[in-house]
Amino acid sequence: MAIGWRLPRSFLGRLGLALVVSIGLWWGLLRTPLDVAVSGFAEFLVRAFEYPRVTRLVTKDHRAEVRRADFRTDSRIPTIPLTEVHFNTIVLLALYLALPRPLSRRQLERLFMGWSVLYLTQTVNLWFHVKALYAMGLGDWSLQNYSEFSRNFLGFWRYFTDLPGRFSFPFLIWLGFNWDLVGGILDRGSLDLPAESPGNKQQRRRRS
């Protein structure tokens, strides 16, 4: 009788190695391109909903500088750390690489689709950071241009995409695209108890 699920040691062993490989890939190859890709799409989204279009997100030292054409020349330029936005790429890569045959065409296609979804969540997270900065971080200008409802709304979703979102999105995406494989791994790792013997059954009936 199955009483629970556990991950088999073979998967956990592959996951440890995959995590090391994923950290190396992200740190050495993907970090800078992701800075540009996430900030570029977030800038497009910000400018799509503002008039006039004055916002520019400039990547520098793994941070996004939020520049507006209507800032004074002596204004302090706010920045947003980009590493915190897309570091969860490591988690998604590690989970995919730990699965059987991670470099097969099927799994590479699933990785591409899953990574695309994660990229969208990272972009939305950065968008909420920029909008929350405008709503709450620019003093009197923020109070004049954003309502209390807007500040609460943007603040909540910035927080949600920061903490619960960043840590849960990679797992949810991985499960969503690989449930058939993950379900098989969990089934193989289920805890099974030996069947009850006939003698034990008879003794239990007599006691009752």
pLDDT for 183 equals 79
Q: What is the pLDDT along the chain (208 residues), one digit of tens a residue?
A: 343 455 567 788 889 999 999 999 999 999 999 999 999 999 999 999 998 999 999 999 999 999 999 887 777 899 999 999 999 999 999 999 999 899 999 999 999 999 999 999 999 999 999 999 999 999 999 999 999 999 999 999 999 999 999 999 999 999 999 998 887 777 655 433 344 445 554 555 555 5
- Looking at the chain, how many residues does it have? 208
pLDDT for 190 equals 44
pLDDT for 31 equals 97
Residue 122 makes CB contacts below 8 A (sequence gap 6+) with 34, 38, 85, 86, 88, 89
pLDDT for 206 equals 56
- pTM (two decimals): 0.84
Q: What is the domain partition of the chain in residue ranges?
A: 9-178
Burial class (CB in 10 A: 0-12, 13-18, 19+), 145: exposed
- Is 114 in contact with 174 (CB distance < 8 Å)? yes
Three-state secondary-structure class, residue 38:
helix
pLDDT for 13 equals 84
Q: What is d(CA 126, CA 41) in angstroms, rounded to the nearest whole number?
A: 9
